[in-house]
A and B are shown apart, each in its own frame.
Chain A
Amino acid sequence: MELTRYILRRMVLSAFVVLGVTFLVFIVAQVVPSDPAALYAGPRPTAEQIEKARQELNLDAPLIQRFAGFAKAMGTGDFGVSYKSRRLIAEDLRAYLPATLELAVFSTGLALLIGIPLGVLAAARQGKWPDRLGSFGSIAAVAMPTFFLAMILQLVFAQWLGILPLSGRLSREISVTAPLSMMTGFNLIDALLAGRLDAFGDALKHLILPALTLASYPAGVAMRLTRSAMIEILERRHVTAARALGLSEPRILFGHALPNAMGPALTVIGLSFAYALTGAVLVEIIFAWPGLGRYVSEAILAKDFPVIAAVTMVVTICYVVMNLLIDIAQALVDPRVALS
């Protein structure tokens, strides 16, 4: 009963947050010191062209009326057209959102894959050099500027070693001569569905460097959380008992202690996903990743407001939904959460 109430409350609050975000985005838009009509009218418009655009965009309507129109557009997912390209934004989002989500999911996986085993190792060797090295590594991962890490990874893996591609989502050979038909928009899944192992491998190779860049921070956090959770559990009685029974150390670690340390993993998933959505702006530019980050940064440069608003809304909704799911999952794993 408590749990249901908790979940309901969280859902209502999430809806409220989304509404607040809509309002905030609209307010920010009013501050932007540029004329949307001039942008909509093209690169070198005449005064008449701008006037025509102003009418088409209904820019002279009162503020309230425009907010109502804006909220309706955001609510229905009909984001209108980009002022700059006049393309349907919903259509662009369909192309870019999966790319960003693919990167976010993959980097989250990578963060767990790197962070959790390292955390277990550090806990098992508490106070010894793997532990110290690990803690330092995790601090360094947090302090590393994303854009700088991206450049270093490109330098080492793409330019010096030449084993991974510098940028993009697919090689030119595949994208130009034998393109994947878009089904889900996730290249890895589309490639598998089409039975194209070549494209799958290619897509995977392109994913590694940007995902690694985004995974460094959450991996550091995952490591620390796992380590402290593990240390706490390793000192508990049933583990001590298992040890007394003569079970091997790896079995204790992975069989008994680790399952109990899954709580932190959930936290990390939420954090990493959020971080990937945020970091996308920087990482997608550097790796020429055709996702929301690159899309929105171009729109920001051009003050293409409908695009900025649409991306902000979509990303925020992803973010809020993800947080909601994590909170619910955490409440299910550990009902104490719901009571606090």
Chain B
Amino acid sequence: MTRLVQRLGWPGTIALVVILLLVLVAVLAPWVAPYPQQGVGVPNVAAKLSSPSAQYWLGTDHLGRDMLSRIIYGTRISLTNGVLIVAFSLLIGLPVGLAAGYFGGWIDEALMRGTDVFLAFPALLLAVLMAAALGPGFLNSIIAVSVTWWPWYARLARSEVLVLRNQPYVEAARLAGVSHGRIIIRHILPATGRPLTVQAALDVGPALLTAAALSFLGLGVLPPTADWGQMVDAGRKFFPARWWYSATPGLTIFIVALAFSVLGDALRERKGGTARASA
């Protein structure tokens, strides 16, 4: 613990704890939510739009469902969203980046100019365009965001490979006649993997923020699944008179994204890098 605090500093440690708690809450949702049924989406019309009270700590929504339970269940969607977006993006970006960096030449040029096309789109606009084309839905919104996300990993992977490519042990393997595929998988991938994994883990925050923006626009999961962005949007009609409806999920998104940001900052150790833009 002390070593952790030493490495990350207090803010970073707190952020890490918040994130771990979040994962725990997501896994244990049926047990920690006060009203698991409502968390899943069963309406409770009699109590609609109640203000926060001992019974409903964070109030209820327009169908009388407990906000706290909805937010707890929303954790599952948001985290899966974030993780899957990053995973899908790695799945596309990593091979592209590896191939571009390793082979160089016209392959590099072709792949990277293709990547540029995707980067040239303002990210949210492309995501919205994709989501609109695919229609709303959990998987569709993830695909939509991943399409805008993968070029970053392609670039990152490529720049890592460029360094590794000329390392003596890679040269040696190549001279020994080891196949390209084998070199990439055995030597390059493990070495690029580590920095990329750290970056990817930190990107879960911005990724879920972008996904939240999509569902705020009505392009996310289907009702009645609980989703933070969608809840903020639904509650906006009742804002500010029934502030809890929008404010509690909004604040939750903020806290989670903040935790990822702070942790990222702590890991980068006060370097002046830029964090990923998101919505």
Residues of A within 8 A of B (CB): 13, 16-18, 20-21, 24-25, 28-29, 31-33, 135-136, 139-140, 142-148, 151, 155, 159, 217, 221, 224-225, 227-229, 271, 274-275, 277-279, 281-282, 285, 296-297, 300-301, 303, 308, 312, 315-316, 319-320, 323
Looking at the assembled complex, report how far the CB atom of A241 sits from the nearest CB atom of chain B, in whole angstroms: 24
Q: Given A20-B114, A312-B121, 8 other A-B contacts at CB below 8 A?
A: A145-B213, A146-B213, A147-B213, A225-B272, A271-B277, A301-B132, A308-B132, A316-B121
Would you call A308 and B212 a contact (CB within 8 A)?
Answer: no
Interface of A is mostly: helix
CA distance A41 to B160 in the complex (A): 53
Q: Which residue of A lies closest to B243 (CB)?
A: A155
**Across-interface contacts of A275 in B (CB, < 8 A):** 277
Would you call B122 and A319 a contact (CB within 8 A)?
Answer: yes
Stretch from B46-54, B175-183, B186-194, B255-263 forming part of the interface with A: B255-263
Given the known interface contacts A143-B258, A155-B240, the answer about A281 and B250 at a Cβ–Cβ threshold of 8 Å is no
Interface size class of B (residues with CB under 8 A): 35 or more
Stretch from B58-66, B82-90, B123-131 forming part of the interface with A: B123-131
Q: Which of B124, B132, B216, B232 has the most CB of A within 10 A?
A: B132
Number of residue pairs A-B, CB distance < 8 angstroms: 150
Given the known interface contacts A145-B212, A229-B272, the answer about A28 and B133 at a Cβ–Cβ threshold of 8 Å is yes
Would you call A139 and B265 a contact (CB within 8 A)?
Answer: yes
Given the known interface contacts A21-B120, A142-B275, the answer about A148 and B129 at a Cβ–Cβ threshold of 8 Å is no
Would you call A227 and B240 a contact (CB within 8 A)?
Answer: no
**Residue B246 at the chain A interface, CB threshold 8 Å:** yes
CA distance A217 to B279 in the complex (A): 9
Would you call B122 and A31 a contact (CB within 8 A)?
Answer: no
**Across-interface contacts of B229 in A (CB, < 8 A):** 145, 147
Would you call B258 and A139 a contact (CB within 8 A)?
Answer: yes
CA distance A13 to B123 in the complex (A): 19
Looking at the assembled complex, report how far the CB atom of A322 sits from the nearest CB atom of chain B, in whole angstroms: 11
